[in-house]
């Protein structure tokens, strides 16, 4: 099998020839750019000091280029547009340095301001004429949104304000996606992930509007969660508008690209905490379920794409609803959260959901334990999730900065053992 055949086999719950692997096909399955740089140095792919592209500047994720994909055994390529979380395009690359001195390449409108305390401001669309939209702490490695909400006045709240960042895809964007998809299809053997999330209803990463110069509507994270109970009609109107845009965009993408895409990223909305759900099942079923079901049903009736949801935390109690909503793939499979024991997940839901992630704990194991312990955990989880197919190896969410290089190498050594 080539990589595309392996991914298609796996997402159809069949046993592939060897372990399928993903690093870098989405913004929730990536590697921090500092670690990408160190991996490239370890494998002698670059001369010291050669910068690595930041393909997602909000989380500072690094580009997993084809030469590194080959070494790491990656089977999936990310298909996405030129846009970023900060509202500017990935173009006109320039050199920059992380706080630890890692050399990187960032988009030309990656405009920052360093403060006296060492923290770094980032600006929507790179425009310093407006207040900053996010901040990287002095010892941090990625950005956090800055809340810029004006006090909401109930009589003047307009759902259209919370739709400002959701737009119909342009012909220019479609042409770019077609060009990239054709390249992957004709020149590589990768499976293709459509990292084109237009339907992340309530995705808290979007709510503060880091890509907007002057965000309006409900943009405070706490106020948003309160609104799930206090302003349900408002939330439904926001989701109605987003659904209309999402379905039209998926229709346009399907007309332009068809079945070149294997998997489509539907949502990055987190519903779980370490201990349980953020919201009750009743609230999920009233506010979220109808919209996800319509998106998934349209995709399954009109395409061959498999649908992918990312939701961190303890989502065990929600999984039957996700299956009923016709999701095909669950990520990041946070086995470190309550009720998320891997054996239980595989036994109860493995016939219905593909587990994309869950390969190693990135909170306590990968950054803090030694190579032997990491190898043992990775082996155990591959054996559990990989049985009878339906598993793509990835870590539990992105690989963060400051993971010792020997720990990363230990993980990849086990992965490559299972790919022989």
User: Could you tell me which residues are beta bridge partners of residue 356?
Assistant: 392
Task: Judge residue 310's burial from the number of C-beta atoms within 10 Å of its C-beta, 0-12 exposed, 13-18 middle, 19 or more buried.
Answer: buried
Give the model confidence (pLDDT) of 139-153 as tens digits: 999 999 999 987 767
- Distance (Å) of CA 57 to CA 52, 116, 213, 260: 12, 22, 17, 27
Residue 94 CA to residue 126 CA, distance in Å, equals 14
Phi, psi at 335, each rounded to 5°: -70, -15
pLDDT at position 149: 87
- Asked if 264 contacts 258 with a C-beta cutoff of 8 angstroms, the reply is no
Q: How far is residue 31 from each of residues 2, 28, 323, 340, 397, measured CA to CA in Å?
A: 23, 9, 28, 23, 9
When pLDDT is cut at 50, 70 and 90, the band that residue 156 belongs to is: confident
Mean pLDDT of 388-401: 97
- Residue 197 above 90 pLDDT? no
Q: What is the mean pLDDT of residues 59-86?
A: 97
Mean pLDDT of 232-237: 98
pLDDT tens, 250-282?
Answer: 999 999 999 999 999 999 999 999 999 999 999
Q: List Cβ<8 Å contacts ≥24 apart for 6-11.
A: 6/75, 6/191, 7/75, 7/76, 7/191, 7/262, 7/263, 7/392, 8/191, 8/262, 9/389, 10/354, 10/389, 10/390, 10/391, 10/392, 11/262, 11/263, 11/306, 11/328, 11/329, 11/354, 11/390, 11/392
The radius of gyration of the chain from alpha carbons, rounded to an integer in Å, stands at: 21
CA pair distance 60, 56, nearest whole angstrom:
5
Tokens of 265: 């990223």
Burial 162-201 (b: 16+ CB within 10 A, else e): bbeebeebeeebbeebbebbeebbeeeebbbbbbbbbbbb
Per the CB < 8 A criterion, the answer to whether 370 and 349 are in contact is no
What are the Cα distances from residue 79, in Å, to 161, 177, 365?
28, 7, 30
The per-residue pLDDT for 154 is 80
Q: Tokens 């109107």, residue?
A: 237
pLDDT over 80 (residue 162) = yes
SS3 310: strand
d(CA 125, CA 151): 24
pLDDT tens string 328-350: 999 999 999 999 999 999 999 99
Cβ 357 vs Cβ 348: under 8 Å: no
Q: What is d(CA 146, CA 4) in angstroms, rounded to the nearest whole number?
A: 40
Where exactly are the structural domains of the chain? 3-46+58-86+149-417
DSSP 3: H
Exposure class string for 37-74: b at 16+ Cβ within 10 A, else e:
bbbbbeeeebeeeebbbbbbbbbbbbbbbeebbeebbb
Quick one: pLDDT at residue 153? Answer: 73
**Digit-coded pLDDT (tens) for 15-37:** 999 999 999 999 999 999 999 99
Written as six digits, the tokens of 17 are 């020839």
Taking the complete model, does pTM exceed 0.85, yes or no?
yes
Q: What is the dihedral of CA 239, 398, 272, 249, to 10 degrees?
A: 20
Question: In 3-state terms, the chain is what percent helix, strand and coil (to 5)?
Answer: 40, 15, 45
Pairing state between β 306-310 and 329-331? parallel
Classify burial at 271, counting beta carbons within 10 Å of its beta carbon; exposed 0-12, middle 13-18, buried 19 or more: buried
CATH topology of domain 3-46+58-86+149-417: TIM Barrel (3.20.20)
- H helices then E strands: how many in the chain? 13, 15
pLDDT attached to residue 151: 75
């Amino acid at each position: 099998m080539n990589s595309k055949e392996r991914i298609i086999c796996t997402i159809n719950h069949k046993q592939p020839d060897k372990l399928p692997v993903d690093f870098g096909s989405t913004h929730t399955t990536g590697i921090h750019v500092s670690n990408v740089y160190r991996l490239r140095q370890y494998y002698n792919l670059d001369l010291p000091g050669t910068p690595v592209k930041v393909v997602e500047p909000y989380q500072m994720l690094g580009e997993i280029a084809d030469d590194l994909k080959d070494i790491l055994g990656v089977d999936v390529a990310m298909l996405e547009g030129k846009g970023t979380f900060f509202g500017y395009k990935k173009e006109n690359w320039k050199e920059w340095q992380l706080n630890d001195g890692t050399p990187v390449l960032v988009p030309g409108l990656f405009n920052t301001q360093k403060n006296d305390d060492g923290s770094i401001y980032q600006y929507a669309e790179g425009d310093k004429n407006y207040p900053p939209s996010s901040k990287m702490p002095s010892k941090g490695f990625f950005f956090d949104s800055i809340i810029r909400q004006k006090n909401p006045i109930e009589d003047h709240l307009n759902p259209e304000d919370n739709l400002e960042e959701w737009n119909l895809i342009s012909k220019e964007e479609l042409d770019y996606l077609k060009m990239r998809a054709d390249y992957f299809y004709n020149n590589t053997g990768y499976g293709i992930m459509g990292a084109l999330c237009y339907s992340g209803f309530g995705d808290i990463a979007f709510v503060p509007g880091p890509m907007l110069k002057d965000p309006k509507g409900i943009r405070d994270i706490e106020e948003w969660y309160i609104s799930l109970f206090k302003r349900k009609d408002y939330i439904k109107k926001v989701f109605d508008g987003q659904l209309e845009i999402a379905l039209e965009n998926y229709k346009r993408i399907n007309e332009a690209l068809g079945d070149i895409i294997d998997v489509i990223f539907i949502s990055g909305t987190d519903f779980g905490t370490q201990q349980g759900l953020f919201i009750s099942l009743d609230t999920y079923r009233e506010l979220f379920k109808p919209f996800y079901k319509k998106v998934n049903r349209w995709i399954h009736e009109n395409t061959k794409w498999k649908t992918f949801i990312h939701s961190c935390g303890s989502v065990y109690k929600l999984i039957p609803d996700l299956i009923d909503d016709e999701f095909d793939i669950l990520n990041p499979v946070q086995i470190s959260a309550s009720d998320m024991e891997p054996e239980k997940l595989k036994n109860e839901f493995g016939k219905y959901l593909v587990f994309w992630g869950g390969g190693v704990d990135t909170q306590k194991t990968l950054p803090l334990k030694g190579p032997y312990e990491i190898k043992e955990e990775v082996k155990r989880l591959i054996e559990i999730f990989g049985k009878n197919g339906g598993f793509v190896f990835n870590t539990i969410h992105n690989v963060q900065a400051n993971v010792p290089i020997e720990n990363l190498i230990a993980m990849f050594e086990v992965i490559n053992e299972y790919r022989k």
